[in-house]
Structure 1
């Protein structure tokens, strides 16, 4: 029992970070009406900036207080840049366009960090103490408890700010009806900017404190937004307290899952724990949150309607497509192998883009699981060939049907929601498929990939 209690407390570090990202998501929703998919990347940027300032990566190393101040100023500047580059220009755009912009910010920040600092995780200098304390008969690092306490205090301060101050009342007014807020003399753009700066600075501060506990990584920190989105869903994108509590509990639950995976009764493959269990758990938590809170999730009051622009009627399709088809077919026959490979890759991307046209253009929803479903079908083709001896065309047809069933199952998990909230479940599903299926050497390709015989 002491071991269970120990692992629960050890999950406070990651849980505190998840909770702060969830609170940042709630702040962004209140301020701009956008689900900030880039919230995890904000923590990542803060961690790398602090590490570079403390270690002298760019210039002479700074002291810890100076590095914290400079990092927080940089986070405020980043919030302003993102607001003016990706939020304000889309103020009157559809919610789908805003969400796509948020995903673009995530990918941009992640790519810049990887280009500058590389892909290997870094060990950040500690800000909090490295001492330990006895709690309930177990030894726990003090830093874990301090970090959780800091997040609770920040959440309490933010909750009081939004409940008892004029700024909080103005934010709630703009959230409920931007048009009415303008008539009352409020500026939705200014309110959105202030909330963004507040979210970036608070998340960045917790990211600095947590950097030495959870590590600094461009591949793992941005994905913390997925459990944070689960916490924000349980909070209905409105309650700071529930988002904080849910984030802490999710971090503790994931730590307990890691402990359970070491037990004899836990399922294993070839003596090791299957990969992706944490991501699969996060997906299931999001599904539970959507079914529980889906029909009551708040909607923002916008200047414009939520319908997509009219799609023009497509005429003379054969005349337009015919020449392109002929040129592409000839190119696949006569060009060198490297150019043929490039054209093939372009054709695959084109088919994937057609799926976005179906779900976004015709249905008005946003899904980011398409690539994962395509990969799932590809791995299914490989397994059908190697395990059952099926080739072309039986294996591709069966793989498509299996991937379609998986896609229908993911869609069924979000039947109670529409609009931008759908991206939450599809994002979690995509990561879960990648980690639980693709990284599994038994089902997917593991680290080496999976062979597929050439069709005949």
Structure 2
């Protein structure tokens, strides 16, 4: 029993980090209504600034400025902490003013995409500006000497100290929001933003202060915790952020007491799971720690009927409009013909880029059905693709199921998984649903994709997938050499064309009209006799099936599947790329595939991109944020809008000319 007490107390440090990040999420939401998925990345930046200052240098993240300003050695804990927290405050203010203030009236999806862009930007900044310190140890801050409880039970003090500090900060925040004017006004604005405006309070000012306060609080706790961790560019990004979302949800994104208790509890129970994995043979060896936050989120948002409270706002934008689906010979022949010509007559690198684009198109089509037609938000699409990929490997290798039956069955398994993970959509929507699917995607990745039982030995490159064959006709990617085979690329194009035509047919069908009705207004759709639950589950099932097809295409292309290709970061990136191209139409999906990483546009502009050196990822993140702010309908939507504007101007000009010629005749 003493061993379990040791692990329980040992997890207090991790629990304190979870609670600290949850504080930032609560503060940000109370002030602005934003669930900032980049909050962990912002805390990460503050810790790196602190670490650099302790080594006598300060890193400038802005291109054109010197790489570092060098002090005369270690500036000391006090000045390093002050300067790091000032940096955190400035970062919080800039993130609000440049990103989330312009998105104040935007739909939740645009804010999620902007958060993903911020994660990309901040992570790339760390990897670029702290290239020599991506995995470092920070000298101790809190007392670390072991503390003896009973007998031989000794634990480091720093975790206990951090837990006590976090509990104290939670109490101070409770006092701030319950008894001060700032706290009362902020809470009132969270309930009714329009009322706060009528009373003379600026929601923008409250939101800006909240972003600054959240960044400082979480940055401070992350800095105190940094000596307990091996500091890396991903350490705070999602590993601690998803449990923090669970803690914040238990606190209903406004109560600090339940938030800190849940955060500490998650960290301590996760630590005990480490011991249980050794002592109990039946206890899951993989995924138990990461699956716990998912269970907490499910309990908070589904079983207990708790959901993220909606912030009262003055106005909101709708999701991007869904254009009519028009399939013409030109719209089919031109993209397919260009892809086939490139595969037949261009070199291996071009063929590889075209294949990447084609697979990305299919994955984007799953978002078109899910979000564009159905109005649902999922951050787990790559999990569905991965489920299909690993199922394909098991069916083909272990059970000997041939092509094309194996990939179709694998995609159907993904569709069933989509229904299961989509069940919360019956009660949740928007950001609420995004949080659940994000946690669900992480749980799937940890339970399945990292389990050698399913993926095999990591040293072998993951779970193997045999080449697709039709009789004696080998469609494999590799044949004797490492060159991309044109026949395999054409095979991918045929699959993508079939998926695109299917999505277009859905848009024109009665099912598509029901999806759009639910997307527009669930109550009105229900009053018209539409079964809302059935439509939502159909949306998740169909989108997961399409994502599963994309996962099988990926598996066949590389001959193996691993967790690297289907993790949570890949899901967020896929959503961002789909949104960038246009998430409401097949043409938007094609555009998404073209602009996908390592796709045709990437390969075409590779020489231009290489001129930016190691800044290309940073620039991509910035462009993603700008797209979410300036053009919520994506690149394809902007093109359609420009064409429509030209047509309207021509019609107006023709009408004016007609009136001008008719006026003299009437006289």
Question: Could you list the runs of 4 or more consecutive aligned residues of structure 1 that deviate by over 6 angstroms after TM superposition?
Answer: none
Give me the whole-angstrom Cα distance separating, in 2, the residues matched to 1:288 and 1:446: 34
Give me the whole-angstrom Cα distance separating, in 2, the residues matched to 1:289 and 1:136: 36
Give me the whole-angstrom Cα distance separating, in 2, the residues matched to 1:287 and 1:172: 25
Q: Which residue of 2 aligns with 1:3?
A: 3
The 8 Å contact of residues 34 and 99 in structure 1, kept in 2 or not, is answered as no
**Superposed counterparts of 1:259-298, under 5 Å:** 259-263=275-279, 265-267=280-282, 274-298=285-309
Alpha-carbon displacement from aligned partner over 1:251-296 (angstroms, at most 9, x marks no partner): 0000111111121x2337xxxx733321122222222222234455
Q: Which residue of 1 aligns with 2:340?
A: 329
Structure 2 unaligned blocks of 5 or more: 58-67, 470-667
Alpha-carbon displacement from aligned partner over 1:78-115 (angstroms, at most 9, x marks no partner): 10111112111111211221122122212221222123
Structure 1 unaligned blocks of 5 or more: none
Give me the whole-angstrom Cα distance separating, in 2, the residues matched to 1:317 and 1:295: 47
Q: Which residue of 2 aligns with 1:236?
A: 252
The 8 Å contact of residues 378 and 434 in structure 2, kept in 1 or not, is answered as yes
Q: Which residue of 2 aligns with 1:139?
A: 154
Give me the whole-angstrom Cα distance separating, in 1, the residues matched to 2:210 and 2:134: 32
Deviation at 1:446, TM superposition (A): 5.1
Q: Which residue of 2 aligns with 1:251?
A: 267
Q: Which residue of 2 aligns with 1:15?
A: 15
Deviation at 1:302, TM superposition (A): 1.5
Q: Which residue of 1 aligns with 2:213?
A: 198
Give me the whole-angstrom Cα distance separating, in 1, the residues matched to 2:183 and 2:403: 61
Q: Which residue of 1 aligns with 2:139?
A: 125
Instruction: Give the secondary-structure state (helix, strand or coil) at the position aligned to 1:442.
Output: helix
Larger radius of gyration: 2
What's the RMSD between the two structures over aligned residues?
1.9
* Alignment of 1:453 onto 2:466: yes
TM-score, scaled to structure 1: 0.94
* Alignment of 1:79 onto 2:92: yes
Alpha-carbon displacement from aligned partner over 1:378-436 (angstroms, at most 9, x marks no partner): 12212211111223101101110111111111111453211111111111122222222
* Alignment of 1:439 onto 2:450: yes
Give the total of aligned pairs: 451
* Alignment of 1:416 onto 2:432: no
Instruction: Give the secondary-structure state (helix, strand or coil) at the position aligned to 1:133.
Output: strand
Instruction: Give the secondary-structure state (helix, strand or coil) at the position aligned to 1:426.
Output: helix
Give me the whole-angstrom Cα distance separating, in 1, the residues matched to 2:329 and 2:167: 62
Give me the whole-angstrom Cα distance separating, in 2, the residues matched to 1:183 and 1:446: 63
Q: Which residue of 2 aligns with 1:24?
A: 24
The 8 Å contact of residues 105 and 316 in structure 2, kept in 1 or not, is answered as no
Deviation at 1:2, TM superposition (A): 1.4
Deviation at 1:120, TM superposition (A): 5.1
Alpha-carbon displacement from aligned partner over 1:339-371 (angstroms, at most 9, x marks no partner): 111111111111111111222112222211111
Alpha-carbon displacement from aligned partner over 1:24-60 (angstroms, at most 9, x marks no partner): 1111111111111112222222222211211235434
The 8 Å contact of residues 376 and 425 in structure 2, kept in 1 or not, is answered as no
Bigger relative CO (Cα 8 Å, ≥ 6 apart): 1
* Alignment of 1:114 onto 2:127: yes
**Which of 84, 93, 96 is 2:109 aligned to?**
96
